[in-house]
Amino acid sequence: MSGRRRKQSGRPLNGLLILDKPKGESSNHALQTLKRLFSAAKAGHTGSLDPLATGLLPICFGEATKFSQFLLDSDKTYRVTAKLGIKTDTGDAEGEVIATCPISGVDEARLNSVLPDFMGSIDQIPPMYSALKHQGQPLYKLAREGIEIERKARQIKIYKLELLSFNDDEFELEVACSKGTYIRSLVEDIGEVLGCGAHVTILRRLQSGPFHSDQMHTLESIEQLLASGGFEAIDTLLQPMSASVSHLPEILLDEATAHYLKLGQSVQCPEISLISSPASSDKGVEEKIVQIWEKDENNKQFLGIGAVLEDGRLAPRRLIRLE
C-alpha cells in the first residue's frame, strides 16, 4: 500500500566500523561491500574519499547514521605525496596532464619557505572534480563534459602542514585540517606558488574526528574474520554509536526523566547547571549540543543527543530507536 514504509531487509545492526578504504575503489562501493558483509539493513559513510585515496572511512550502521554529521563536520588528518612540475585536470594522478613545467630552483628549502603561507585560516576554491553540486548536478559530472562552473572560495583551516620528505620532484606532507578541505587543491595551490605546478600521487586519511588509523580494518581482514567466525566475530569490530559524539558533554538522566525525553518533551535535570549556557551570535542563540544517557543502578544506555535551552531545560534532538 502507498504510504506504508517498506521494511528493510538485513540485520538491524547499530554501530560504526572504521574502514581502511582500499585504493581504486569508490567510497560508495566500499560501503555497499561492507553492508553486504555485515548483512546490515541500513548503512552510510561519513564523507567520501577519492578512488585514488586510501585510509580511514567511518561506516555507520543503523541508528548510528543519525550522528554521521558530526563526523562529516570533524577535523581530518591526511598524508599526501605530490609530484612537482606536472598539472592534471583532476589535480591527481588519475587525471589527464594539462601542463608541464621545469622545476629548477625548487628545493626542500624553497618548499619549506612557502608552507607557512598555507597555515591557519585560508581561502580555497573547490576543484571542479568534486562532489559539490551545481543546480543538482555534481561538479565532477560537468567537468567530464568539459563544462567549468565558477566556484566561490571557501574558508578552511590548516592546523598542521609538515614536510615529511623531499626527493627531486616529489614531496610528502602531513596535513591536519578542517572539514571541507580539498587536499588536491592545497597541493595545486602550493605548486602554483612554487611556479611549477603539482598534483597528488598518493593520498591517505589517517584521522577523522575521534577516530585514528590504529582503529582501521581492511575489507580483506573482515572477510577472513567472517569466514572463520561468522557475524558474531565481525560484530566485535564495531564501535558504539556514541563514539561519534564522544567529544560532546555528557548528561545522565534517571529513568523517569528519560521517559519524558523519549516522548519528545523537554526536561529539567540537575546536571544541566554544569553545562555552559548556549552561546549568542549575530545569527541568534547557538544550541549547546550534548550526548544523553539513561542511567540505572547497574549501567547506562546511550539515548542520543539533545540541546541545552536558554531556560536551562534539555530538549531532544536526535534520539536512537532500538527495536
Residue positions annotated with a catalytic role: 50
Nearest C-alpha neighbor of 170 from the set 86, 45, 82, 297: 82
Residue 140, CB half-sphere, CA atoms under 13 Å: how many?
8
The CA distance from 40 to 9, in Å, is 8
- Give the list of residues 6+ apart from residue 68 with CB closer than 8 angstroms, or none: 44, 45, 46, 58, 60, 244
DSSP structure class, residue 210:
T
Whether the CB-CB separation of 305 and 292 falls below 8 Å is answered with yes
Whether the CB-CB separation of 111 and 193 falls below 8 Å is answered with no
Nearest C-alpha neighbor of 249 from the set 293, 309, 315: 293
Whether the CB-CB separation of 63 and 37 falls below 8 Å is answered with no
Which set of grid coordinates corresponds to residue 143?
Answer: 567537468
Secondary structure of residue 165 in the 3-state scheme: strand
The CA distance from 172 to 167, in Å, is 9
- Give the list of residues 6+ apart from residue 20 with CB closer than 8 angstroms, or none: 54, 55, 56, 57, 213, 216, 217, 218
Whether the CB-CB separation of 262 and 74 falls below 8 Å is answered with no
